[in-house]
Amino acid sequence: MHIDLRSKRALVGGSSRGIGRAIAEQLAKSGASVCVMARSEDKLKALINKLPTDQGQKHHCLAIDYHQQSDYQKKIKEYLLSNPVDILVNNTQGPPGGGALEQDLEAYQSAFDLLFKSVVFTTQEVLPHMQKQGWGRIINVASVSVQEPLNYLALSNSIRAAVVTWGKTLATDVAAQGITVNSILTGYFDTDRIAQLNAQKAKKMGVDPAEVRKAMENQVPMKRIGDPAEYGHLVAFLASDKASYLTGTKIPLDGGLLKSL
């Protein structure tokens, strides 16, 4: 199956590394012009210099910090004035790990602003263009933990679940306008985030991080952790006309990790 995203413009959050970077790379390979967003401007500039332009793409970067909401909102508004977006990938860095009893109200508020408020704001800003042209793709990067909560990720469990249910609601509202909204339930992928969480868990358990990683791999029926490039393939499909009748879904990408239906 050939995915053709030529003439499409994508905005990808958290894309200086890991899953976000892999998504940006695959969308560009498929012909889309991509704007990458993250905190490190140097990393973003290095990335767009490596993205393919052989199909006439023009790539951009936005140095933003989701924790600085007013500045983030200002930059997004200014960018969209001259750069309408056809494909939005809502992806942010994860909040701190920890169980429900380890978090105070301030931590939940911070996670809400990071994971939910930024997603809703950005989506509302790109929607008018999508509605006007009768075509758009909104893809939310979520987690398997919204379906089977992980006790060391209380903040992520709670707020990402809100994003998924909000996405389902939005999908119904905009489906007749040619706009699809889907969420991906992310399993274990080989990223800095996983390494950080494994190191945190290993320290608490008093074991080597390699031991934690091996146990994680053994939980997955495929007995391995995912390659971020595999994530990019799914997003490219969801962003294409091939997925025009697929909306309001939550798709596990987890090597079979989820046990529930």
CA distance 77 to 121: 10
> Smallest Cα–Cα separation from 34: which of 14, 48, 17, 50?
48
Query: What is the per-residue pLDDT for 261?
Result: 84
**pLDDT tens, position by position, for the chain (261 residues)?**
899 999 999 999 999 999 999 999 999 999 999 999 999 999 999 999 999 999 999 999 999 999 999 999 999 999 999 999 999 999 998 888 889 999 999 999 999 999 999 999 999 999 999 999 999 999 999 999 999 998 889 999 999 999 999 999 999 999 999 999 999 999 999 998 888 888 888 888 999 989 999 999 999 999 999 999 999 999 999 999 999 999 999 999 999 999 998
Cβ pair 239, 27 in contact under 8 A: yes
Q: What is the DSSP letter of 102?
A: G
With both helix axes pointing from N to C terminus, report the angle between 209-219 and 192-205 in degrees, rounded to the nearest 10.
110
**32, amino acid identity:** A
Query: What is the per-residue pLDDT for 93?
Result: 84
Query: What is the per-residue pLDDT for 152?
Result: 85
**SS3 of 90, please?**
strand
Query: What is the per-residue pLDDT for 200?
Result: 84
Query: What is the per-residue pLDDT for 198?
Result: 85
Query: What is the per-residue pLDDT for 192?
Result: 86
Query: What is the per-residue pLDDT for 217?
Result: 95
Which phi and psi angles does 81 have, rounded to 5°?
A: -60, -35
Query: What is the per-residue pLDDT for 119?
Result: 97
Query: What is the per-residue pLDDT for 202?
Result: 86
Q: What is the per-residue DSSP string for 144-204? A: GGGTS--TTBHHHHHHHHHHHHHHHHHHHHHGGGTEEEEEEEE--BSSHHHHHHHHHHHHH
Domain 9-187+227-252: top CATH class: alpha beta
Q: Where in the chain is the domain with CATH 3.40.50.720?
A: 9-187+227-252
Q: What is the largest CA-CA distance in the chain?
A: 56
8 is written with which tokens? 């499409």
Strand order in the sheet with 60-63: 60-63, 33-38, 9-12, 87-90, 136-143, 179-186, 250-253
Query: What is the per-residue pLDDT for 94?
Result: 83
Query: What is the per-residue pLDDT for 223?
Result: 97
Query: What is the per-residue pLDDT for 138?
Result: 98
**SS3 of 30, please?**
coil
Cβ pair 250, 164 in contact under 8 A: yes
Cβ pair 176, 200 in contact under 8 A: no
